[in-house]
Structure 1
Amino acid sequence: MVAEIVGLSGSISRPSRTRALVEIAVGRPAERYGRRPVVLELGDMASSLGAAARLRDLDAPALAAVERMLGADALVLASPVYKGGYAGLFKHLLDLLDPLALVGKPVLLAATGGGARHALVIEHQLRPLLGFFEAQTLATGIYACDADFRDGGIASERLLDRLDRAVGQFAPFLGDALVRSRDEAEIGVWSA
């Protein structure tokens, strides 16, 4: 099995600011820790997910996406903010998971919204939700609003700095591949 960092964009919109955030939030740690970046979109699972009462009710592609999430070395979970909370279909997906499915898994929490007033959705809703699953949520959450984007991409250096701080918090769980590789090269150790 290939080591992966999987991100879930909890938006059903296309194009999506949540997707843009997830792409960069998965890409940076994947590069740093030597993992394959994978981005999944809730919209790709929406029709199957909306009709599912149990995980086994999902169609094959949706079930494969969930299994990929569960098998990942680390996760980035991001939801757009609707009416002051995370997306309903995003929550429904998590409702289908076994309560022990995410125990100990490192998770970077992220959200997008129209303005800064929704930034606490990470602390007041997403973090307690993942606490139920006993996931290891990173201390730094990433919230991005309209002002952080330009032409569909992230334009805020402040946001990118915060993201880099969060990426560093994966180190206890994933090891620091760049530092390890450099140290091994200095002492002449080869690793596969």
Structure 2
Amino acid sequence: MTRPLRIVAVSGGLQRPSRAAALAEYLLDLIGEGVPCDQHLIELGELAPQLAGALWRSQLPETVERQLAAVEQADVLVVATPVYRGSYTGLFKHFFDFIDQDALIDTPILLAATGGSERHALMIDHQLRPLFSFFQARTLPLGVYATDRDFAEGRLHDEALIQRARLAVQRAMPLLALSHRAAPAPLVAAAAL
């Protein structure tokens, strides 16, 4: 018997409400429709005061350490960040600088970003993919990029974006299904039997 997949989303948005967080949650929900999973959303804006001044992982408080561990133990990651000056936010990079460099090997990662216009859409391929290539993760084939006008009242409303998000998840499903079959249920201690 397999356990549900641990799917963790990291939103690099610093404001609330955050379009990056809304996009990440939407993608989490789409994945949850296709495979049994436990979902967890990390909003870096909430961690910013505890994260920003640390130089070493040992300097981080337990609340941040728990979130780093959640990322390192995830079966699947969804990452979404606003585009800031042509790249991901500094806090997003700072968070991933604390992740063990071997923790994400072969982890499927769905990449997403939000920005003010389509001009920054290639940030997914030119910034996010190289970052997660360093970790030897499996970035999924389609990224999802959304602009400000794709949202209404904090939710996705543009039909083309919704279809792209569905297609990205649909194309990812064979790999996620493999991850699900490979995720064994936790062993029950012999003493508990």
The TM-score, its normalising length taken from structure 2, stands at: 0.87
Residue 12 of structure 1: SS of its match in structure 2? coil
CA contact (8 A) 2:8 2:42 kept: yes
Determine which structure has greater relative contact order: mean sequence separation of CA pairs < 8 Å that are 6+ residues apart, divided by chain length. Answer: 2
Give how far 1:2 is off.
5.5
Aligned to 2:52: 50
Q: How many residues align?
A: 178
Aligned amino acid, residue 88 of structure 2: Y
Tell me the SS of whatever aligns to 2:23: helix
**1:111-150 correspondence runs (5 A):** 111-150=113-152
CA contact (8 A) 2:72 2:99 kept: no
The corresponding residue for 1:68 is 70
Shift of 1:26: 0.9
Q: Which amino acid aligns with 1:164?
A: R
Q: Which SS does the other structure have where 2:142 is aligned?
A: coil
**CA distance in 2: counterparts of 1:96 and 1:169, whole angstroms:** 30
SS of corresponding position for 2:160: helix
How far off its partner does 1:48 sit? 1.7
CA contact under 8 A between 2:111 and 2:128: conserved in structure 1?
yes
Give distance in 1, aligned partners of 2:76 and 2:22. Answer: 18
Inter-partner Cα distance in structure 2 for 1:54 and 1:135: 23
Greater Cα shift, 3-12 or 102-111: 3-12
Distance 1:2-1:68 versus aligned 2 partners, 3 A rule: farther
1:89-121 Cα offsets, whole Å, 9 max, x none, are 100111122221211000000000011111010
1:140 alignment partner, SS class = coil
Matched, 1:88 2:129: no
Q: Does 1:162 align with 2:164?
A: yes
Partners of 1:82 and 1:174 lie apart in 2 by 30
Q: Which ranges in structure 1 are unaligned for 5 or more consecutive residues? A: 181-192
Q: Is the CA contact 1:26–1:76 (under 8 Å) kept in the aligned structure 2?
A: yes
Written as runs of structure 1 = structure 2, the 5 A alignment for 1:24-35 is: 24-35=26-37
CA RMSD of aligned residues (A): 1.8
Contact 1:44 1:62 in 2 (8 A): no
| Unmatched runs of 5 consecutive residues or more in structure 2 | 182-193
Identity within the alignment, %: 44
- SS of structure 1 residue aligned to 2:100: coil
The answer to whether the 8 A contact 1:18-1:78 is kept is yes
